[in-house]
Structure 1
Amino acid sequence: MGINNLSNLIDAHNWFFNVQAGNKILYITALLVFLALLIVLITKRYRIPIVVGYVFLGILLSEDIINTLPFLSDIQIEWYLFVVDSFGYLTHIALGFIAFRIGSELTIKLFKRLGKDILVIVIFQTIAAFGLVTLAIYFIGQPLYISMLLGSIAAATAPAATVMVLREYNSKGPLTSVIMAVVGIDDALALIIFSIIEPISLIIHSGKAELTIIKTIGIPLIEITGSLIIGVIIGYLTQYFLIKFKNRTKKILTLISAIIGASAIAIYTGHSPLITNMAVGFACKNFTDQNLEISDYLEIITVPLYAMFFILAGTEIKFTGLKPGFSLITITYITARIIGKVGGASSAAYLVQAPKKIRKYIGLNLLPQSGVAIAMAYTIQNKFSTSTSTLIFNVLLFTTAFTEIIGPLATKYSISKAGEIEKEEN
């Protein structure tokens, strides 16, 4: 069996070079990077969130759209699809950086400074979104495992679009402070919920094993604990070398090695690469009081990586073969999630007796959903059936496009009504 595998590997190696597959990968990469630049220029010009542009470009480059182009031959289309599939490793790398960034935004000092009120708001709106979406999707006739997966993903909020609006209008005040804290902690809690729900959903989906306390709670907790331990160890070593090294190149390579290495170790040992890298980021930030300039390094490293990630995410969308009732599922998901986020956050704010403008407007700033949610959907692809992963992925992509457009508008409205815009538009 080993000889056959080696023979197949040699044949594949020879084929790769004989057909000059490497050149074709280079051509497609160059095209995607150039198109990403055009998207940035267009979105900046019309003040559209960049991630929406990337995803929309990906949709235009999806298999269903490419197959309709009359000037492409069948062999050219097949080559294109082969090259796009070969970029799969980029998604794992991008997911690692996304999770690392979430962890690096969380500090022990932040939790102490914010107190329990912020945590109550975060927990309430997260659980409300998870519960309402799960019940709503199940109520319209979808299987429990799909309902639970969509519910766990619904808990995530994309902070980038919201933070961008706050910075654009130089927003300052109590509402702004609460918004920044909630969106920063939200994704970390969402990742933990997803890590618990995903294996439970997989057991229900497979139908090959009975649900037990150990399988529903024990196994996910063991996976999360193991991921956290691996991440903290790698994070501690990373911050040690970031402090020790004075050369910028050494620091950047240390950071890249830590994130990609953590993903590789987590996947190899059967742990969650998302939780692991979140722990790496958290450890890097909290094991030292020094400013390691992590955000500055990530800003440089991740620009092309995120561009490719969201473009490739868009190419995954399937217009043909959509599950019956897809539109109803998507509308139900978006509606239930908005109600859960807005209602949960506002109810929690009333419960902790927050100021009136926080109670009234905090929920409107939790609508965007993109990076982490798409990252969660990506992890589903390798564990669930194609029909399930395609359905969830398409729901998330349509939700991303919708919420990344209305989210910034809702944020601007809320901070304007709260009187926290320091500098209006010219």
Structure 2
Amino acid sequence: MSLDAVSNFHQLQQWLLINQVSNKLLYIIGIFIVFALFIVLFTKKFKMPIVVGYVFIGILFSVSIVKHLPFLSEEVKEWYAFSIESFDYVADLALAFVAFTIGSELSIKVLKNLGKKITFIVLLESFGAAILVTLAMLAIGQPFYIALILGAIASATAPAAPVMVLKEYNAEGTLTSTLLAVVGIDDAVALTIFSFAEPISLIQASGSGELSVMTAFVEPLVEVIGAIVCGIVIGYISVKAIVKFEDKTKKVLTLVATVLGASATAVFLNFSPLITNMAVGFAYRNFATKNPGIAEDMETLTIPLYAMFFMLAGTKIRITAITSVAFLITALVYTTARIIGKVTGASIGASLAQAEPKVKKYIGLGLLSQIGAAIALAYTVQRDFIDIPSVGLLVFNILLFTTAITEVIGPLATKYAITKAGEIND
């Protein structure tokens, strides 16, 4: 680090201290948590999924809406926008625990029983959405590189929302087990598809570079396998220690240290933190000699974290960014094609696997939510296409717009599916 950089860093520290940035962040956290309480009271009364309420409040507090409030000064609006962007780490923490939860539901016994079903469903719903969105984008005149990127991102299903709904209603049954397994593996497949598609798109968009077997196949494969191995090793060591503890404090700190430590290790090794923590949860489920006794602590620990995550996710949705008919058409075509690809692909996959009728009929409805992994991939596009900023901006705005739709209908569709399947246990 140069002397100029050290000097600038010191100036930045002073500026943050003088302007009391930490206090302003505390104001926002306090407001969001208070509203989270009101949302829980409201949604419970009207029997709505809590996630829908969180996202809706987040939309109302989005920067694109707050900046139009006449009673706030321009300085306050700028501070608010800066503060909201400072909370990106909350998403990383929440998704880490969501991934752990998904992995902890994947027992080897369940995977053996559902292995064929899961394979068919995951492959067909992921590739179904990717292919259909790519073709739909080409049909409305989008360039091939944008169509390919959007198709790859469309394959991802956000695990947080369906997992929250399943936990909220204590869902149990074949559909629930299958859905948890599918959303757990889905992001690994989506990450692989994106890892293949993005280099091709970048080369075509820039008109330079060369696509090799290493960048298109070997590196993505190493990333996925490395994340799984890393997570299983960390999870195995952790669960062997945690089952020996009787003290609640030791258990909670071990759990938190494991999940955050796995995320940090994955980032350091350029692996996916999501896949890594899913593998950690898998190890907890399958390698524990006795029940670790962390389920209740885990649920209590993550309540405020999930509330902040979904509300902050809602603030990212820029409804006022819709400025043209062309953009609106593109976003709606993307959303429609993705939903059809997910639902139809999952249903066909379940039929080919000879799954139970309720799984064939309703599994696709639990795969509509998108925020999380898809937004992370959109950030990746913005970073990698920095020399072609229009690509990253278009992809990001489309994802944010469609998220506003899927994060409302997704949890409602999941609740409808488990209700019709008779797997709600209030």
Shorter-chain TM-score: which interval?
0.7 to 0.9
Task: Map residues 253-332 of structure 1 onto 2, 5 A cutoff.
Answer: 253-318=253-318, 319-320=320-321, 325-332=326-333
Q: Partner residue of 1:205? A: 202
How far off its partner does 1:399 sit? 3.7
Greater mean alpha carbon deviation, residues 138-147 or residues 161-170: 161-170
**Aligned CA distance change for structure 1 residues 185 and 152 (closer, same or farther; 3 Å):** farther
The code of the aligned residue for 2:191 comes to: S
State the alpha-carbon separation in 2 of the partners of residues 276 and 295 from structure 1: 20
Change (3 A) 1:383 1:188: farther
Structure 1 position 285, deviation (Å)? 1.8
- Answer yes or no: is 1:347 the counterpart of 2:348: yes
Q: 1:376 to 1:253 in 2, by over 3 A?
A: farther
Question: Is structure 2 residue 54 aligned with structure 1 residue 44?
Answer: no
2:186 counterpart residue number? 190
Contact residue 95 and residue 274 of structure 1 kept, 8 A: yes
State the match for 2:124 in structure 1: 124
Letter in 2 for 1:11: Q
Q: Give the AA of the match of 1:335.
A: T
Q: Please report how far the alpha carbon of residue 390 of structure 1 lies from its aligned counterpart in structure 2 after TM superposition.
A: 4.7
Q: CA RMSD in A?
A: 3.2
Give CA-to-partner distance per residue, 1:258-317, whole Å, 9 cap, x none.
111222222222222222222222222222242223432321121111111122222222
Q: Shift in Å at residue 168 of structure 1?
A: 8.4
Q: Cα distance, 1:359 vs. partner?
A: 4.1
Pick closer, same or farther for the CA change 1:48–1:84 going to 2, 3 Å: same
Alignment of 1:23-34 (within 5 A): 23-34=23-34
- Contact 2:382–2:392 (CA<8 Å) still a contact in 1? yes
Alignment of 1:139-154 (within 5 A): 139-154=139-154
Cα distance, 1:210 vs. partner? 1.6
Q: Which residue identity lines up with residue 329 of structure 1 in the other structure?
A: T
Change (3 A) 1:78 1:46: same
CA–CA distance in 2 between the matches of 1:222 and 1:324? 42
8 A contact 1:49–1:161 mirrored in 2: no
Question: Aligned partners of 2:407 and 2:265: how far apart in 1?
Answer: 33
* Paired residues of 2:51 and 2:165 also in contact (CA < 8 A): no
Structure 2 residue identity aligned to 1:325: A
SS at match of 1:275: helix
Q: Is the 8 A contact 1:230 1:276 kept in 2?
A: yes
Label 1:344 to 1:409 Cα distance change in 2 as closer, same or farther (>3 A): same
Residues of 1 paired with 2:416 and 2:19: CA distance?
55
Question: 1:106 and 2:109 equivalent?
Answer: no
Q: Which amino acid is 1:182 matched to?
A: T
CA 186–373 in structure 1, closer or farther in 2 if over 3 Å, else same:
farther
SS at match of 2:71: coil
How many Å separate the matches in 1 of 2:5 and 2:167? Answer: 55
Q: Structure 1 CA distance, aligned partners of 2:215 and 2:100? A: 28
Correspondence 1:70-109 to 2 at 5 A:
70-109=70-109
| Alpha-carbon distance in structure 2 between the residues aligned to 1:73 and 1:103 | 46
1:181 to 155, 177, 184: 177
Encode CA deviations 1:3-38: one digit per residue, 9 max, x unaligned.
Answer: 222212221122222222222222222112112222
Indicate if the aligned counterparts of 1:227 and 1:266 stay in contact, CA closer than 8 A.
yes
1:61 Cα offset (Å):
1.6
Native 8 Å contact 1:165 1:411 kept in 2: yes
**CA distance in 2 between partners of 1:245 and 1:411 (Å):** 37
Residue 244 of structure 1 aligns to a residue in which SS?
Answer: coil
CA separation of 1:140 and 1:228: change in aligned 2, threshold 3 A = same
The offset of 1:163, in angstroms, is 7.0
Q: For each residue in 1:200-253, what CA deviation from the matched residue of structure 2 results, as whole angstroms up to 9, or x when unmatched? A: 444222634221221111111111222222212211121122112211111111
Residue aligned with 1:209, SS = coil
Query: Which amino acid in the other structure matches residue 197 of structure 1?
Result: I
Deviation per CA, 1:349-406: give whole Å up to 9, x if none: 4334445555445444544444554455455554445654554444444444434554
Matched-pair contact (CA < 8 Å) for 1:148–1:197: no
CA-to-aligned-CA distance 1:306-340 (integer Å, 9 cap, x gap): 11112222222232375762222222222222322
Size of the alignment, in residue pairs? 419
Distance in 2 (CA, whole Å) between partners of 1:294 and 1:61 is 34
Range with bigger deviation, 228-237 or 136-145? 136-145
Secondary structure class of the residue paired with 1:210: coil
CA distance in 2, matches of 1:400, 1:62: 13
2 CA distance for matches of 1:101 and 1:376?
21
**Paired-residue identity, %:** 48
Change over 3 Å in CA distance of 1:357–1:274 after alignment to 2: closer
Residue pair 1:128, 1:341 contacting (<8 A) in 2 also: yes
Q: TM-score, normalised to structure 2's length? A: 0.85
> Any gaps of 5 or more consecutive residues in structure 1?
none
CA distance in 1, matches of 2:265, 2:193: 22
Contact 2:121/2:350 (<8 A) preserved: yes
8 A contact 1:129–1:338 mirrored in 2: yes
- How high is the TM-score relative to the length of structure 1? 0.85
Is structure 2 residue 246 aligned with structure 1 residue 243?
A: no
Residue deviations 1:153-206, cap 9 Å, x none? Answer: 43344567667777888988xxx51x2233112223321223223334442226
Partners of 2:92 and 2:20 lie apart in 1 by 25
